[in-house]
A and B are shown apart, each in its own frame.
Chain A
Amino acid sequence: MTRPRLHTSSSQAVGLVAFVLFGVLAAVFLTADFADAATFSGNADSVIEGIGYAMLNLDAGPFAETTDGFLITFELLGMALLAALVGAVMLGTRDDDGGDS
């Protein structure tokens, strides 16, 4: 039986750090004063439309003046996803001739 097991016997006391961090951050956020939000001018459909235009660097749509273009990022992220796919296949391939990994 070598299946993965749920370890519950280890010490959980270090998890108190997360609770303390939540308390501190929540206290900071709730005591800070934020100005009123600037809302979007268009409706929800125009927001989705603006995201699509901004992702492809098109100067169109209702948010063309305030939103940057992200075409370079889009293409780089495609390369990163391709590299991750190749890496996952390389890691997952089982070699039977006794090499490492």
Chain B
Amino acid sequence: MAVPVEYYLVFSTLIFCIGLFGILTRRNALFFLMSVELMLNAANINLVAFSFYHGNLTGQVFSLFTMALAAAEVAIGIGIILVLYRNFADVDVTRATTLRW
């Protein structure tokens, strides 16, 4: 028998909390993107683990869709960071406090 499902859960919790730590403490927008990716992939680990746990393939298919959505999100996010750097000369998320300038 393979690895118990609790280990997968603790592992994905660890990855999720690393992403949460990054979002809470960093101020660089690129670190935000990386942390959001960590949190999304923690959800993917849960999907694959419970797909194996239930003997059903739906979770694995859905995790592939989640990865594609994460790719779309990163494309938009990097575009936003590009505009942020162009307008504020910095990628610090705490400095972009105005919508129009």
Contacts and interface: CB of A to CB of B under 8 A. Distances in A.
Nearest to A64: B57
Interface string B6-24: 1001100110011011001
B30 A4 contact: yes
A84 interface: yes
A66 B58 CA distance: 8
Contacts of B100: 100
Interface residues of B, number: 51
What does DSSP make chain A's interface, helix, strand, loop or mixed? helix
Interface in B45-101: 52-58, 60-62, 64-65, 68-69, 71-73, 75-76, 78-80, 82-83, 85-87, 89-92, 100
A21 B5 CA distance: 19
Contacts of B91: 4
B15 to A, nearest CB: 10
A88 B52 contact: no
A85 interface: yes
Given A10-B27, A32-B6, A18 B13 contact: no
A70 B61 contact: yes
B65 A88 contact: no
Contacts of A22: 13-14, 17
A37 B30 contact: no
B57 A66 contact: yes
A80 B26 contact: no
12 contacts: A18-B17, A29-B9, A37-B1, A39-B1, A51-B61, A51-B64, A70-B61, A70-B62, A77-B69, A87-B75, A87-B76, A88-B75
